[in-house]
Each structure stands twice: as C-alpha cells, then as structure tokens.
Chains A and B, each alone.
Chain A
C-alpha cells in the first residue's frame, strides 16, 4: 500500500493527495491518503515507497500540519536509505518564495538517505491549470518511473 502523505493549511494539498491516490488506484496501484499530522514518522523507513505533498506558507515556510512531521523527522533522524519517494508541492507564484515547502521536505528526506524518484511536481495557484489536472498529470508522468 503506497502511503500518500499530505501537509496542508487550507486543504488543497489534501485534494491533490486524493486525486493522486485515485489515479494510482485506477491504474493498478494501491494507495492510501494519510495526513502528516496523523502519521508516525517511525513508520516511514519501512514504507518502501511514499508520496509526499505539501503547500508553502508564510515567507516560504511549511504549513502548520507539515511542520510537526518535519520536526519529528529532524529530531528522530531515522535511516531512510530503504525509502523511495515522490514529491508534489503547492504554492502561488505571486509569492517570492514560490513552492519552497516541498523543497524543504524533499531535502530533509534526501539528507536522511531516501531517494527521490521523478521530478518534483508543482501546482501554482496563481495559474489557470487546475490542481486536479496538475496532480493527475504529474502522477501519470510518474508511472513509468514507478514501474521501473
């Protein structure tokens, strides 16, 4: 079961997580959406593969429900060398620090030994591409990498 972990403030990242899970489930995968705030980071090393999704707040900072997940990882520093992950970030390009949040999380996962697969997906709330299109388009592009 692929865990799709999201951190959010106004719920958009959760919708992206739902869309990505729907896409994977419709295409032969088995995915489950879990809020970062309800997730025990001690389980992460054993996931094998996970998708992480977060928005950006403040001046390029993490949203309220991503921060505790990030802090817990930083504190416990699990060995994630057995983990592969894919990353999708939400932001708004009218802010100077566009989409920083996902880069912060991805950098920490890499630092702990996890290997990122595929490109970091992005949704820009200031552009007209819908979140659903951005998220499912990204998941579609991710598929060959996952199969490999």
Chain B
C-alpha cells in the first residue's frame, strides 16, 4: 500500500535531523520517518561535540529519544549514506530526503606543517575527549593521543575555542559530573599544560564567545589570566570581567594569555623549537609553542562528487537542514529554528502537490542493510552498557571501540570479564 503516506528519509541524527523529524511528525502523524546515521549511536555533535563537562546542553537528547520511543520514528544506525546505501537508493525508496549530515571537518589554519608542533582541529580534539570511536589525533602505537606539551596555542575566539581552553586548563579532578574520556584527557595533558595562548582576530568587544563561556574560564581557581590587544578597546562586559580576573588571579599555576586583534601567520623553526608567528596591530611577534589547536569553524571534508558528499545530493525532493545547510553556524537551538522552517517548506511543497506520496519507503532498502543495521534497541543496549559501567557520579563511560559498540548493540555473547570474544566483534 504505497501512495497513502509520505516516506521520509533523514540523513544524520544530530540535532538538525532530530528536530526535522519532530516537526515533520507534527505535520504528518502517519508519515513513515527513518533517520539514517553513519555511527552506531545517535545525536551527532550533542554526543561528540558539546563539551563533556556541559551535560546540561546535552540534555536535549531526552526530546530526541522520545521520537524513537513514542513517535514512531525509526533509527537506522551504522548505515552510511554513500557507502552502505547510495543516495540514489534513497531517492528511489523515499518521497522526501532531508540531508542533516553536518560539517565533519575542522577548517585549517593556512600555515605550513611543522614536524615538532602538531596543528590539531578543535573539533577533532573535542571529539576525542568525547570518546569518539574514530580518534583523529596524533597518537602513540597504543592508540592514546600524544601529549600536547606544556605550551599550547589556541587559535579562535568562539565558544568552541573556549571549550578547548577550559578542557585543557581545568584541574583533572574537576570533571566529576562529566562523561569525558579520562584516559585521553590525561594522555593529552600528561606533560602538564603550563601556558595557553589564545589568539583571536577580532577586538575583545567583537569576540564571538558567549560571556558566560568566557567567565567560566576566568573563574577557574588554578589559572593566572593575562591579556594583550585591548588597550584601544572601549569598555565592554568581557573586558571588565577579564580585567577583574587579571587583578585577582596572580597566583594561578597555569597561565592563560588572551591575545585580541591577533592573527597567527606562520609556524617557524626557532632556535629552541617551534615558533608561532603572530601578526597584531603592533607588528609581528613570535611565541614558543608545543602544539597549536585551531577553532576556526567547520567545513565538509569530502569533495563534491564523492558519494558521501551531501553537495551532490540534490533534487526536488531534497531539503538539507542544520550545519550542512548553513555553513556550520549556530547552536542547537538555531538548528531547531531552521528545521522548523524547512519542515514548513516541505509541508508547503506537499500542499501544492509538488511532492506526492508514492515511494515504497524503508522496506525497499531494509534487506540491503540488514547485516549492518543498528536499530534503536541496539543503541539502547549501548546506552545501558555505558550507564552501567561508569564511575560513581559520572553519567556514562562511552565505548570508544566500534567493534565493541557493535557487539554490545547486537547483544553478542561476551566473556565473563566483560570483554568481547575476538570473533564476536563482527
């Protein structure tokens, strides 16, 4: 019985995909809605972007869980569109397609690589600290990330940059209520981060961070704050908070220096090691660094034409949402707003009969993904496992190994000590 209700495929289970499902469900009680997700676990950057010590911001997942538990939305996890199914497969099976794949890649700083000073994207760093299964940081043979060293430069002045500074500065014993990957955090900070230089292009009054994010750093008991580049700036809330922190924090063991109106231009070989060369209104200065972390926004890592690149997913039935659609701007709430607008456009297109229910829906692709699929029950098993295995006070201990995630999702037999049998992983 096709042709009676819309069959909708949403690609990506981050906030924009989940909010789109919410609004489409409100528009059509009877639509068949499937959310395809490349990972075996849902929620995109809510799980792997939002900082692990900001659990309050992760609590939107309760809304999204309701979609799968009560609203009849299907979770089709561990299915990458472009690999496990092609976009063309989806286009044939569904009436409406909503790409919500986000932007997976950190925007790079245009400096030449340096053998002794890794340049790491903030998204990759926070993904690792959020326990992502594909860790993309410079690593030792044992899989643990290399220490960042004592002197870390953070480039960028948005909220993601502030997340990085806080995660690297806050005492290790103050991550109590978080679900941070303690092992990776300790490995990254093993040499002891002693100094963080934060470089922002704008003057302080135009810096993109939220004041509350900035104040959270200024309020850390163990830091000594200093700054440059604000002499000519008119008073603003951020400057007031910074000046107050500067005055009271002289004894902190970890030094954080905020450079405003400062743009890194090159990574050089200095006599004692790597030097980050930075241009300011006063000329060019060099800073000794052991690692550079860039928080300069995000882009699509895949060239257009790549089967997984959403750039090549187009047609009258295709309605992109979220970071993919807007170039990586905005908070979780902004995605709700844009998903609402897009759902409105979809409903209007249906009203004008530009979209007509005719496609067979999920049943037409089910067989092809039966072997890889992790459904909502599978995710619930991972979720329960993560909640059961964490230390007291922690919300969860994330599984970081894909094979283990799949074994738990499929409830494959596990040895008494809790580890997987080698053959059970696939």
Q: Using a CB–CB distance below 8 Å, which chain A residues touch chain B?
A: 9-12, 14-15, 59, 63-64, 92, 94-96, 124-126, 128, 130-132
Contact = CB atoms under 8 A, between A and B. Distances in A.
Given A9-B336, A59-B212, A128 B395 contact: yes
A10 B333 contact: yes
Nearest to A14: B63
Interface residues of B, number: 23
Contacts of A125: 55-57, 59
B59 A12 contact: yes
A129 to B, nearest CB: 10
B22 interface: yes
B56 A10 contact: no
Contacts of A11: 19, 22, 60, 63, 336
B60 A126 contact: no
Interface of B: 15, 19, 22, 54-57, 59-60, 62-63, 66, 177, 211-212, 215-216, 331-333, 336-337, 395
Contacts of B57: 92, 125
Nearest to A131: B62
A63 to B, nearest CB: 8
B211 A59 contact: yes
A92 B59 CA distance: 10
A15 B336 contact: no
Contact of A15 (B55, B63, B212): B63
Contacts of B22: 11
Contact of A10 (B177, B212, B332): B332
Nearest to B19: A11
A9 B212 contact: no
A40 to B, nearest CB: 20
Contacts of B211: 59
Nearest to B216: A94
A126 B56 contact: yes
A95 B214 CA distance: 12
Given A125-B56, A125-B57, A10 B62 contact: no
Given A59-B211, A94-B56, A126-B56, A132 B336 contact: no
Contacts of B215: 96
Nearest to A55: B333
Given A10-B333, A126-B56, A15 B395 contact: no
Contacts of B395: 128
A64 B332 CA distance: 13
Contact of A95 (B15, B60, B63, B212): B212
A111 to B, nearest CB: 28
**Pairs A-B, 9 closest by C-beta atoms:** A125-B56, A9-B333, A92-B56, A10-B333, A126-B56, A125-B59, A10-B332, A15-B63, A11-B63
5 contacts: A11-B60, A59-B211, A64-B337, A126-B55, A132-B62
A10 B22 CA distance: 12
Nearest to B60: A10
B244 to A, nearest CB: 14
Given A9-B336, A10-B333, 17 more contacts: A10-B336, A11-B336, A12-B59, A12-B60, A59-B212, A64-B333, A94-B216, A95-B212, A96-B212, A96-B215, A124-B56, A125-B55, A125-B57, A125-B59, A126-B177, A130-B62, A131-B59
